[in-house]
Amino acid sequence: MERAARRSMHPMRSRRRRGLVLGAAALLALAAAGCGTAAGAGHQAGGVPHATAAPASRWLTFNTSQHTATLTLIAGYHGANSGFNYDGYSHGQMVVSVPVGYTVTVKLTNQGSLPHSAAVVSGSPTSTTVAFAGASAPSQNISTGIAIGQSAHFHFTPKAPGTFYIVCLVPGHEQLGMWMKLVVSPGGRPSLRV
């Protein structure tokens, strides 16, 4: 009799355990959805998947309570656009949005076959005027760039909304498409779309 009672309880335990596992998985999924990474679809203009780009959430992280964002840029990522790209995207395919007052750290690593730089400029992607004090890497000789395999970083805090561009200021590189769009919004959360 005791054995029969135990057997009849097993399906119930199994269902309970399965419910706990599914509930835990759902909670993990919800937590991951709000963990402070920006989502992106990894597509080129026109909706065609970009074969050499990594998921956009890898490139932008943020902390809403501290009003900080970190943008990781890998120049020459997997040779997309003949190496004239950031994170595999070029010609403004990647758009980063940050709210006014956020301190943004840009981390640049050069995986390309040529020197590259990164600078926040205003006006157009072909501008060479740095929009914020210190918003370039390397901080000196941005037209020379950083060497292959090297890294550099910079910080800036936008004080007003507007549209800017992150470009490579090594001569000719921005004309070949090595730029992305930066939107400073009046509020909200940082985001990245491709």
pLDDT of 123 > 90? The answer is yes
- What pLDDT digit, counting tens, does each position of 9-35 carry? 454 444 454 444 444 444 333 333 334
Identify the residue with better confidence: 48 or 166. Answer: 166
Q: How confident is the model at residue 146 (pLDDT cuts 50, 70, 90)?
A: very high
Q: C-alpha angle 75/76/80, rounded to 5°?
A: 130
On whether residue 47 sits in a domain, the answer given is: no
Identify the residue with better confidence: 182 or 14. Answer: 182
Minimal CA–CA distance to 168: which of 75, 65, 59, 98?
A: 75
Do 161 and 86 fall within a single domain?
yes
pLDDT of 130 > 80? The answer is yes
Residues in Cβ contact with 14 at an 8 Å cutoff, skipping those fewer than 6 apart = none
Task: Give the domain CATH number at 112.
Answer: 2.60.40.420
On whether residue 38 sits in a domain, the answer given is: no
Domain extent, residue 29, equals 1-33
- What pLDDT digit, counting tens, does each position of 27-73 carry? 333 333 334 444 443 333 333 334 455 556 789 999 999 999 999 99
On whether residue 125 sits in a domain, the answer given is: yes
Q: Which H or E element spans position 89?
A: none
How far apart, in whole angstroms, are the C-alpha atoms of residue 103 and residue 147? 26
Q: How confident is the model at residue 129 (pLDDT cuts 50, 70, 90)?
A: very high
pLDDT, averaged across the chain: 81
On whether residue 50 sits in a domain, the answer given is: no
Minimal CA–CA distance to 108: which of 172, 173, 44, 45?
A: 173
